[in-house]
Each structure stands twice: as C-alpha cells, then as structure tokens.
Structure 1
C-alpha cells in the first residue's frame, strides 16, 4: 500500500504556537472550589498554585535538572511517512507510534531503526476499520488496536501477524490489556446503557471485561450525565510505571493506582490547584450540571486548572495542565517533594534549542518526546542563540527528509 506524504509543518507549528511565549506566566482571575482531601483517601496530595510565577532560571536552563539528552532520528522505508503522532508507547527497547493520518502503528528500536508498520486497515476479518486507540501487551510486546468501526480490539505481533480479535461494544476512553482474554477499561463520560441496563444511568467508570464482553469487576460508580459530553477534558487514561498500572482522571485531577486482582482503583496522587480547583463534575446533580455547562459554554465560568497529562518515572512526575489558555508544566521529585514550575516551554541550554514536549517515558526512567525535522529547522533558523554542533549536524542530515527525531532525556534530583 502506498503512503503519501503529509506535511508535518502545520502540525508542529500549531504545537509550537499553542505552547505560548516562553516566559509568560500562567495567570487567572476566577477562584475555584475548595479542595476536599477526604475524597482522595491515602493519596499523596501535590499542591500546585497556577498563579505562581514560573521558575525562570529553570525554564532557561534545562541543565539544572536534566542530566542527559539524546537524539535519535527515525528511519523509514522510502514510501512511508508519519503524518501525525497521536500516541507513543515505549516498551522493552521499542517505540510504538500511532500515526493518526495513515491509521498505522509504526514500531522502531530505541535508536530509531525501523522494525515494522502495522497497516491492516480494511473490512476483512484480520483488518481494522479505523484506529481510535492502541496499546502494547507488556508481557508479549503484541500490539492491540481498538477499532470503534469494527467494534473490536484486534491483536497483532510486533511483526504484524494477526493473532485474533476481541469483540468490544463497550464505549470507553482508555483500555489496557490484562491477558489475551481480559482488558481493563476506563470510561470517563460515555453512555454504556446497553451494557449496564439493570442499573443505568448508574454505571462504573472502571471495569474489567473478558472476551465475551462480560463485566467481571468494576469500580468508580457514577451517574451518566449527557451534559459531560459538552465539557472538554483530557483522555490520557491508563499508563504503566514499572510493574504498576496507573489511571489518570482529569475531571477529578487524580491519578489512581490500579489493583487488577481486586478490580479496584485507589488514589495515588491528587492535585490541589489552590484557588483554581475545578468543580467536582461527577458529583453534581443533573440540573446543576446543565446550568454549569451552559455557563461554561457561554464563558460565564472558568479560570480553573485542568489536568491534561501525567508522565511518571520511578523518581519524578511531569504534570501538564491548562490554566488561563496556557499550557503549564511542573516537574515533581518523589524523593524530596519539591517541584519546579517550567510553564509553557523551556530551553535546552546544552544545545540552545527548546526542549520537546513529553509523549511518554521509557523503561529506564527517561522522558521521551520528539521533534519534526522541519520543526527543528525552523527552531534553528529563528532561534536567537547558536545551536550546538550536534544539533547543526542533526538538522543538516535531516533537512531534506520529512522525518521524526526522538528525544530522550533523564532528570537529576533538584
């Protein structure tokens, strides 16, 4: 199958512009709701004040907290191109990338060498109609693709061999494979009345289901509210750190520890955004929520912080959130409980270019992001400082290619 080139420039330009000015502090005027720690059990409470100025010195000097940075250009066969990275997973020395444009899963080694591309879109029994999400089986390295159009989760080996499919009519935000016949599912706000007919509109947000679509275990019971579909929120869902499974829920600004044997989730980190905490929307009555959503859409309410994603290693958290139309980030040390507020962007002073946006973490406790080759050229062309020689050499080698450059970096304690 032939793949046609898709310009990365517009995509990366949007990301670049969206990140905002380097030293523009996140500000706002609306007070949020009071943080109620009793909702979060034994969770570690991480307090973030969105109105506090960014740590300017750290924002200009990544070297203050970064111990190493490495760059790995991805190699692709000549007739292939990655158009838009929607999700990235690192596992067992491999990087898996979901390209939304071609609806393919690309697989590379840690050093960027091409391994395979799963490109099985179609209507056949071993094909997927579309891709909304994908996961990697941490035991086997197999790729699982969720196709809403096919209403299935399909399994492939790393070399692209079809292994089978699990029927799935359960609407969800995120899923995670437990075994060949079981998956964990998180559903932030969609209706599953056809699954929970006896209790609907009461339905769980977390479930464990088998390949017969039977619900074996469930947690986070809530009432379905159609109005929640009108509220924008992050869809990060499950991620793994070491042998532990996590579940990030943006509406409640919490990261849960998932116990698969019990089929329960327990708050692990809860984020207190001081006077910018969002309302606890799951706890609102229908009428109250309708009024809130209407006011929100009419811009009568707002100004609170919204958890976007959490990237976690054995020693650190990178917490990304939105506040006052800005993307804000903090790095948090699990050891000394200290945090550094980076803001919307930060500079790699070792190479004199901006640091990448995080996409995932590696098994070796590194953070993993990327640049597009055209984005790298643009940063060099318009940057005020002279990039390092390795960046100039890297840009020259990728100048005529529409490629992706992986960026790995490791933090040191601060």
Structure 2
C-alpha cells in the first residue's frame, strides 16, 4: 500500500481518537454545579431551628484523669463505632473515649521508632474500627487496629493535608505545596495500596500556602462525603466510592473575597471584615447544609434547610469558642464546652457543675 495513502487513511482515525481522549479527559471534571444565592435565603435565628432538623442534645462528660487521654485543644472530633476520637493537632495525638466519657487510650506514640510518628495532620476511622492518620512530616499513612495496636505505616508519594476512607481506598486532600505525585491537584482518589485512581480539581494562582483561614477536612454524612477548603466557597460532594458527584457554590455576592486577596491573606486580613466565607467544615445531606461562616472574622454556625431555603444562623462566636460547633460525625452535630470559655447556651445544672470543677464536655445532637 502507498505510504502516503496509508498515512492519509490513518489521519481521520487518529484525529477521532485524539478528540475522544480529550473528551474523556474533560469528562473527569464534568459534574453538576448548584449555586446558592445567600442573599435570597430567608434568614432566621438558630433558636428557631425546628425539631425536624435538630434533635435532642445529650452531653458526654469527659473523664480526663487518664493522662494518656489528656488533650489541650480539639482540632477534630469523630464519633464512630460507639467511640469518640479526638485529634489534638498541637499535642500531636489522637485520644479515644467511650460514649460514657471514659478515657480509653491514645493512638500510638510519638517518636523516632519504626512504629512511631512525628506529626498528625488528619485521621479517619473505618467501619471495622481501624484508625488511619497522616503523618505530615514523614509523609506516611499510619494504620492502627480497633484495639489501638500498630498495623502498618505506608510511605505517601505526595504531601497530603486530609483523608477520608472510601470503598476500597482513600480520598486525599493534597497540600498546595505538594511537589510529589499529582503536583497541583487538590484531591486524589487512591486504592488501598495508595495507587492513584483519579484526581479532581487543581490549585490555581489564587492560593496562599503560607496562611490558612482555618483547618479543613472531609465530612461524611449518610448521603455524601463533602470537601471544602477555605477560602473557596465551593463544596465538592463525593459518593462512598470516591467519585465526584456534584458541586455546591455559596455565592455571597459583594461579600465574596476578591481573588487577589486570596494570594496574600495576611497582608489583606483587615479587609476581610467586610467579607463572608465558609470555614472549618461543611456537612451536606439531601436536606441540609451546615457548618460555619466566617463573617467579619467571627465564627457564625449555620444550618441551611435546602427544601425551604431557610438559613438558621447562631450569634457570632470567637474563633476559639466551639460551644456552638466543633464537628459533625455519625449524624451528630458536635459541640464542645471548656471550663474557662463562656458559652451562650443554658446548660443543665449537672453539666455546668462539671465545667465549674474543671471538666470538659461534649454535646451530641442529631442533625437530620
């Protein structure tokens, strides 16, 4: 066959394959996006939250007499398998309590040994009770069994901030300064052996790796695994297999942070008094979106009823006050009360007495 004719014959096929490949590549980032115009939401006070959204609260008085279970700050809290898991990112430890508030132990030990870690960036708990956490200094994924015994440590070929366990693998939220595998990617899906299956989103020029407005994490509800990294007001929703399903964009109109301010947050921080954004964590179900706004640099817990388009907001809190919102896990809206931090909530006498004696208390309230 004439070579020229053969090449000409192949050209349409090659173009078709190339276009197909481009469409497949683009399809990775094709997902429905819903915009919530915050200015059009009916505004109500937190105290008006109906019982159909927020259930009765129960209090867990934490017994911190076990030195292993002592912690200073609550960076993240989870309720799973009838246990309470608390990360103290400052002390670099995860402590475990039962649902009666009795301290069980801490997870692993900090040090230079083969089974020891140096840092904990984030953690998650599997359905079988296995505990996985990221050591951000060693770039390793540690695993401990449900009875808190060391199981494995796996080197990570990338730098990650957060993780979530999904079917047959993990979702990782990568650091903006990651120079390893999947550089510039925000989220990757891996199998259980940390082989990359897929990647989602990329960091752009409007990123300041030297300043965080707040910590962030994947949040699991019965319907979705949600991802939001402040200052971005997009919430990305994944299913239990780690596939990106949908994006929700909170639009605060003229209160949105200008892109240019996101590149050097500390220098522009005073200007943030006039802006609004999502912070810490955001939970999404088919019925509600809940979390915290950062308004005028104050924390404002909120619950948005998606069916009624009503946003219930609490009074502004100082950033260190977790008495209105500390986390969400296992369908519980979690609050946290410390002895020397005043709260706007009227507490039962037994709870207030425990706080007065120097105790620490968790509030667990079903959020539907």
Same fold, TM exceeding 0.5? yes
CA–CA separation in structure 2 for the residues paired with 1:295 and 1:205:
19
Are the structure 2 counterparts of residues 109 and 313 from structure 1 closer, same or farther at C-alpha, using a change threshold of 3 Å? farther
Deviation at 1:301, TM superposition (A): 5.6
Hey, what does 1:307 align to over in structure 2?
Answer: 278
Q: Contact 1:152–1:168 at 8 Å: present in 2 too? A: yes
| 2:361 corresponds to 1:405 | yes
CA–CA separation in structure 2 for the residues paired with 1:231 and 1:78:
35
Deviation at 1:148, TM superposition (A): 2.1
Pick from 320, 323, 327: which aligns with 2:299? Answer: 327
| 2:171 corresponds to 1:184 | yes
- Gaps (5+ residues) in structure 1? 1-38, 282-288, 347-353
- Write out aligned runs for 1:182-331 (5 A): 182-187=169-174, 189-192=176-179, 194-196=180-182, 203-210=184-191, 214-223=195-204, 225=205, 228-230=208-210, 232-242=212-222, 244-259=224-239, 261=241, 264-279=243-258, 281=259, 293=263, 297-298=267-268, 302=272, 303-308=274-279, 309-312=281-284, 315-331=287-303
- Write out aligned runs for 1:10-49 (5 A): 42-49=32-39
| 2:63 corresponds to 1:75 | yes
Are the structure 2 counterparts of residues 337 and 299 from structure 1 closer, same or farther at C-alpha, using a change threshold of 3 Å? closer
- Gaps (5+ residues) in structure 2? 1-28
Aligned residues: 334
Hey, what does 2:115 align to over in structure 1?
Answer: 126
Are the structure 2 counterparts of residues 76 and 47 from structure 1 closer, same or farther at C-alpha, using a change threshold of 3 Å? same
Are the structure 2 counterparts of residues 294 and 342 from structure 1 closer, same or farther at C-alpha, using a change threshold of 3 Å? closer
SS in 2 for 1:125: coil
| 2:129 corresponds to 1:158 | no
Deviation at 1:253, TM superposition (A): 0.8
Is the radius of gyration larger for structure 1 or structure 2?
A: 2
Q: CA RMSD in A?
A: 3.6
TM-score (norm 2): 0.76
TM-score (norm 1): 0.69
Are the structure 2 counterparts of residues 159 and 43 from structure 1 closer, same or farther at C-alpha, using a change threshold of 3 Å? same
Q: Contact 1:106–1:116 at 8 Å: present in 2 too? A: yes
Hey, what does 1:142 align to over in structure 2?
Answer: 130
CA–CA separation in structure 1 for the residues paired with 2:150 and 2:246:
37
| 2:353 corresponds to 1:396 | yes
Deviation at 1:249, TM superposition (A): 3.3
Are the structure 2 counterparts of residues 210 and 124 from structure 1 closer, same or farther at C-alpha, using a change threshold of 3 Å? farther
CA–CA separation in structure 1 for the residues paired with 2:97 and 2:114:
26
Are the structure 2 counterparts of residues 242 and 49 from structure 1 closer, same or farther at C-alpha, using a change threshold of 3 Å? same
CA–CA separation in structure 1 for the residues paired with 2:327 and 2:149:
26
SS in 1 for 2:364: strand
